[in-house]
Structures are given as structure tokens and as C-alpha cells.
Structure 1
Amino acid sequence: MKAKNLISIFILAAALLAGCTKPAPAPSPTPTPSDATPDKVTTASIVDNAAAFEKAIGSSGTWIIAITKDLNIDKELVLDGEFKNGKKDDEGKDIIQRKIALYAQDANRNITARYTLTAPRLTINSPEASIQHGTFKGDLYVSSKNFKLVDATVDGNVYFTADEAKSTFTMDDKSKVTGKQEIKK
């Protein structure tokens, strides 16, 4: 069973990294301001402990944070920073995205395990963020726009710290919130 979990973790890591990388641009003879800005999006953080999770969700962390087992963290957490996912939209602009992945998947992207992240409070400051395919136990404070739950459960309350955060929040029909959803400024 342990070997199967390890194989699933390695497959998830390989799939995430393969989907997140982009070819290096040709060298430019004269750097432009955009060349000087580091692209902090092309990696994923696969974590199995509280310290690694806390580092990954920080402003100098990664755009996707995937846990590999249930995590219990006894302090408040903050998802900070704006990240690009390495892809472009139809107009050629970088796509902003931040994802907390509470699951494992196989090479065909079938979900093979779901995990629970437990903390007293998780504040979402990153724009275009989501929690996917697992459970967050605790209260969620959403301060950014376009936050999503995708096949995820919040076992607690969801508090929005701004009207825009609430009006742009979405969750699919597989997601649920066990507590209240309200604005709390």
C-alpha cells in the first residue's frame, strides 16, 4: 500500500511538473523590464509536512501546492502572492492562478486519493486561487477575487472580507461548505 502511494505521488509530481513547464525564451540582447522579472510559476510544490506547506503558500512560494497526506497545522495560514501558471490566454497574456491541491492523481489525471488540510484559519489573499478535490477543516477568509472551490469541502465557515471577494466566489456542484458564507470585514 505504501509503495502504491509513493508511485502515485511520483506520478502526480511528474504530471504537475510536465504540465507546468514552458520552453526557455531565446536570449535577448537587451533585457527589457519583463525579462528582468523572474517567472515564479513554473514549479509545483509537493509537500507532506506543515513547514513545507507554510513555505509553499507564502508570497515567494509556488503557484500550485499539492499535499501528499492529511496535514494538521495548529496555526493560522495565509495564501499570499500573485502567481502565473505558465500558460497564456487567448490574447497571449500570462494566466494568473494559485491552487491548493488536496489530492493525488495518476498519469491519466484520475484522482487516486483525497486529503484533508486542517487549520484554525486559512486566509486567501492570492488572486484567482482555488482549493481542489479535498477537504479544508477550519474557517476560510477570502480577501481576493475569483476564489473557487473545485470538488472540495470546507468543513467550517467561509468569510469574505470584501464585497468583490464574495461576488466573484464560485464553487462547482461537487463542492460544499458546512458552515455559513458571509461578509465579515
Structure 2
Amino acid sequence: MKIKPILLALAIVSTLFAGCGQRNNQNTAPKTGTETKTETKTENGKNEITDGTTTASIVDNEAAFEKAISKTGTWIIATLNDITTNKELSLDGEFKNGKKDKEGKDVIQRKIALYTQDENRNVTARFTLTAPKLTINSPEASIQHGTFKGDLYVSSKNFKLVDATVDGNVYFTNEEAKSTFQIDNKSKITGKQELKK
């Protein structure tokens, strides 16, 4: 039977191509990449749904970071080094991460990833984002595994610090933002936390 040798040869070639396509880089940005539909509001006020892929904006400079955190950016912003700016920054827009919840609804999420990781998702490097002010307007947002140096203004619900440091103050601009704020036991805030309308 000639079919078995042909199938065996195809399997070997497929394995070789898959192996050659893998990267051996130990430090990579947080992984993502799933199909999703994005709903945006057009200039005339109508909602428009577009198909796309939710991927990380992997950034290493101030201009790329500012674009990634805008309302036309991506759901995850991953830095590759420290970033410093003299501008006041704002994390804007509502984004879906490509996953579904138990009811089958799209999961809303936004993440500033101040770290790199290895293939086993172990954090390999942590970075610092420095700005005079960062306002969190995106719902379900987080800062993870790095340091924000400056004052943080939280205007949206369910903001999280995950293994992250805020070297500055955290101001909540409304009661909902304050009451839904979450901080894990690896995170810290060096300044005060208060409601500031």
C-alpha cells in the first residue's frame, strides 16, 4: 500500500514546518490572538460591527504606547522596556478580549502589561511607565506586573492592580470606581487612595 508511506511523509513534513515556525525567544510579550467582532460608533452616531483579531500592541516607545491606549488601540498593551512621558495619558475605549463568559457574552477587558514572559507565562522582566497622570476610562481594565510612576485617576468600574505598583496616588473620580477597585496582595500603592470628584 502506497498510502501509508505518503501519509507518513506528510506527517514528517508538517512536523518540520511546525518546528521551524516556533520561536525560541525566552522573553515575549503576553500572548493573545483570537478572532472577535468589534463594535464602534461612526461619526454619524451609528454602531458598526467589524471583524478582526484581538492582538497585543507590543510597544517600546512613547508614541506607540499613546496610540495603543487610545480608543482605537488594542485590548492589551504590552511594553518591552521602561516608558517615560511628560504628557498626561488616558486609557480610553471599551474592548473585547475575544473570549465569552458563561452566558456566551463577549468579555470586556483592557490590560496594560508592563512585563515580558517566557513560554510558560513566567514573568521574565518588569517595566516602569512614568507619566504625571494616567486616567483609566476603559471598563474592566488592569495594570499588571510592573510599576506606574505618577498619579492614577480611575473613572471606570472594576479596575485592577495585579502584581503591580503605583508609585504615586490613586484617585477615584466616582463612587462606583472606588467600590469596585481591586488590588491583589502582591500589589502596592505608595501614596494615598481617595475619592476625588
| 2:90 is equivalent to residue 78 of structure 1 | yes
**TM-score, scaled to structure 2:** 0.79
- Contact 2:173–2:195 (CA<8 Å) still a contact in 1? yes
What is the match of residue 61 of structure 1?
73
- Contact 2:153–2:170 (CA<8 Å) still a contact in 1? yes
Distance 1:41 1:183 in 2: 37
Deviates most, 138-147 or 40-49? 40-49
Alignment RMSD, CA only?
A: 2.0
Per-residue CA deviations over 1:25-57 (Å, capped at 9, x if unaligned) read xxxxxxxx99x5025661110000000000000
Matches within 5 A, 1:22-33: 22=35
- Contact 2:35–2:52 (CA<8 Å) still a contact in 1? no
Number of equivalences: 166
Unaligned ranges ≥5, structure 1: 1-5, 25-32
Paired AA for residue 7 in structure 1:
N
- Contact 1:41–1:63 (CA<8 Å) still a contact in 2? no
Distance 1:152-1:39 versus aligned 2 partners, 3 A rule: farther
What is the match of residue 115 of structure 1?
127
Distance 1:89-1:60 versus aligned 2 partners, 3 A rule: same
Residue 16 of structure 1, aligned match among 17, 26, 31: 31
Report the Cα offset of residue 16 of structure 1: 1.4
Per-residue CA deviations over 1:106-157 (Å, capped at 9, x if unaligned) read 0110000000000000000000000000000000000000000000000000
Distance 1:163 1:113 in 2: 35
Unaligned ranges ≥5, structure 2: 1-23, 38-45
Runs of 4+ residues over 3 Å off in structure 1: none
- The alignment partner of 1:7 has SS state of coil
- Contact 2:36–2:98 (CA<8 Å) still a contact in 1? no
Distance 1:51 1:124 in 2: 18
- The alignment partner of 1:167 has SS state of helix
Q: Which has the higher strand share?
A: 2
Distance 2:51 2:102 in 1: 20
What is the match of residue 165 of structure 1?
177
What is the match of residue 29 of structure 1?
none
Distance 1:41 1:58 in 2: 17
**TM-score, scaled to structure 1:** 0.84
Report the Cα offset of residue 22 of structure 1: 3.0
| 2:106 is equivalent to residue 94 of structure 1 | yes
Q: Which has the larger radius of gyration?
A: 2
Report the Cα offset of residue 8 of structure 1: 3.9
